[in-house]
Structure 1
Amino acid sequence: MSAPVSLAHYDFSGRVAVVTGAAGGIGRAICEAFARNGASAVNWDRVPGEEDTSCAPRHFQADITRPESIEAALAATLDAYGRIDYLVNNAGFAGPTLPLDEYDPLEWQRVIDVNLLGTYHVSRFVVPVMRRANAGRIVNVASLAGKEGTPNASAYSAAKAGVIAMTKSLGKELAQTGILVNGIAPAAVETTLLAQMSPAHVQTMIDKSPLRRLGTTDEVAQLALWLCSDSCSFSTGAVFDLSGGRATY
C-alpha cells in the first residue's frame, strides 16, 4: 500500500501569478495550483483552455513570439490586478523529431522563437514591473534536453539550453533587486503531447528513468510553487532537475 500524499500548502493571498502557455498541460497545472493556494492566477496563451474547473485561471490572449501581443497582455493584467508577483515562463513548442541535417530551417527557427526568444520577450516586459516593486519570482520551465541534448531534437535541445543559460544570467543580474530567477528541467512528463509519440518511444523515455515512470504535471507544479514561495530564499540562477533520477551530472 502506498503512503498517503501530503502536499505543501502556501498562502499566496493577494499575489498575482502569470503563467505562459497555461491552456493545458504543465502550464495549466501550475496555474491551477497557484489558484488553489490563494493567488490570482493568470494564463497568457493564445487560447484559454478548459474553463470547467473551480481553479480555471483568468485568460489574457498572448502570443509570446509577438512582442506587441505580450505588451497587450501585460497592460491588461496590470489594469486588472495592478501587479505581477510571480512569472512562470512555461510556453513551449517541441517541433518535429528529425536529424539535424533533415530539419527544415523555418521549423528550427520557430522552435527557437517560441522556447528561447519567447521566454526572453516575456521576461523583458515583466522584469521592469518587478523591479518597481523590488520583489518577484521568475521560474523558467526548461528541459532535461537542454542539459543532455536529445537526439533528433537538436532545435528543442538548443533552445532549452539557451533558457537554462539565460536563467543563470538573469538570476545574477537581479540578485540585488529582490527578484529571484530559477529554472526547472523536467524529463518526460505525462501530458497529451505524448499521444503524438509512438508507444515504443514513450517506453524508451520511461526506461531511462530510475523511477521507471513519467513525471506528472502536478509534480512540476509543486516545484514551481516552492520556487515562488517564501520557503525558497537563497536560490537564484539555479536550475532544478525533475528527472526521476535520470540526471547523472
Structure 2
Amino acid sequence: MRLSGKTAIITGGASGFGAGIVRKFVAEGASVMIADINGAAARALADELGVLAQQVDVSRDESVNAMAAAALMAFGRVDILVNNAGVTHMPAALDEISEADFDRVAAVNMKSVYLTARALVPHMKANRGGAILNIASTGGVSQRPRLTWYNASKGWMITATRGMAVELAPVGIRVNAINPVAGETPLLKSFMGEDTPEMRAKFLATIPLGRFSTPEDIGNAACFLCSDEAAMITGVALEVDGGRVI
C-alpha cells in the first residue's frame, strides 16, 4: 500500500492511461478523485472502484477551481495531482492544422497545467508538500512529422515540469513527468491516422520492445513517482516507451 493515506486528483482519469493510473493508485491505498470531461464515464469507474468522480473541463478556470474545491471538501487535503488529460490533432502537415485544432491542443495540454497549478499549488505550499505528475509524451523529445503542434505541446509540458520542480522544491513539492509512447488508448487511432494492421506494424517497428504502452505500464510508473519512494526525485521526465527514443 505505497500510497496509503494519500489523496489524489487524476484528470482524464476515466479512460486510457488515466484509468490505469486510477486503478493502480486505488490498489495502493490512495483516496482518488477521477476528474474527466466525460462525467458519465468518470462516475461509472468511480462507482466500480468506490472513489469520487468529478466532471471537469481542464481548459476552463472555473471548472478547474470547482474540481479543486470539491476535492478539498471531500478529502480535506490534496497530496497528489496527476495532469493526465490530453488531446491531439489528426496527423497532417503542420500548415494544414486548423486554428481550432491548435487552440484545443494548447488549451487541454498546456493551459490546463497552468490552471491546475493556480488552483492547487497554494494548498500544497501551505501543507509544505505534495507531488505533481504531468503526463507528457515521447513526442515531446523525439518528434515525428505531421504531429508537430501536439509534439510541441508535450515539449512545453516537459519544460514546465522542470521549471515547476525548481521553483517548488523549496516548499517540498515535487514535480515530475512521464513520457509514454503511444498505447492502447482512445487516442491511438488519432496518433496513427488510421488503425490498420499495416499502420500498427509500422508504428511498432519503431519501439525496440515491440509493443505499445499499456495503462498498467503508466500506472506503475506514476505510482512510483508519486510515492514516498521517489522522495529524492523531482524535475524528471521519465520515458515509459519500450526504448522508443533511444
TM-score range, shorter chain: over 0.9
- Contact residue 140 and residue 153 of structure 2 kept, 8 A: yes
Could you say which residue in structure 2 is the equivalent of 1:45?
Answer: 36
Distance of 2:202 and 2:170 partners within structure 1: 43
Aligned to 2:57, the other structure's residue is in SS state coil
Could you say which residue in structure 2 is the equivalent of 1:29?
Answer: 20
Q: Percent identity?
A: 36
- Contact residue 34 and residue 46 of structure 2 kept, 8 A: no
- Residue 226 (str. 1) matches residue 220 (str. 2): no
Could you say which residue in structure 2 is the equivalent of 1:237?
Answer: 235
- Residue 96 (str. 1) matches residue 90 (str. 2): yes
Distance of 1:113 and 1:201 partners within structure 2: 29
Q: Which 5+ residue runs of structure 2 have no aligned equivalent? A: none
The CA deviation at 1:181 is 0.4
Could you say which residue in structure 2 is the equivalent of 1:85?
Answer: 79
Instruction: Identify, as 1 or 2, the structure richer in helix.
Output: 2
CA deviations on 1:102-135 (whole Å, 9 max, x unpaired) are 1111211111111011122112211111111111
Q: 1:206 aligns with which of 197, 200, 204?
A: 204
Q: Which 5+ residue runs of structure 1 have no aligned equivalent? A: 1-9
- Contact residue 32 and residue 41 of structure 1 kept, 8 A: no
Aligned-residue CA RMSD (Å): 1.5
Residue range with higher mean Cα deviation, 193-202 or 205-214: 193-202
Could you say which residue in structure 1 is the equivalent of 2:176?
Answer: 182
Residue range with higher mean Cα deviation, 99-108 or 220-229: 99-108
Q: Tell me the TM-score normalised to structure 2 length.
A: 0.93
The CA deviation at 1:194 is 2.6
Could you say which residue in structure 2 is the equivalent of 1:3?
Answer: none
- Residue 131 (str. 1) matches residue 122 (str. 2): no
Distance of 1:234 and 1:15 partners within structure 2: 18
The CA deviation at 1:216 is 0.8
Q: Structure 1 residues 75, 211: CA separation in 2 closer, same or farther (over 3 Å shift)?
A: same
The CA deviation at 1:56 is 5.2
Residue type of the partner of 1:247?
V
- Higher RCO structure, 1 or 2 (CA under 8 Å, sep 6+): 2
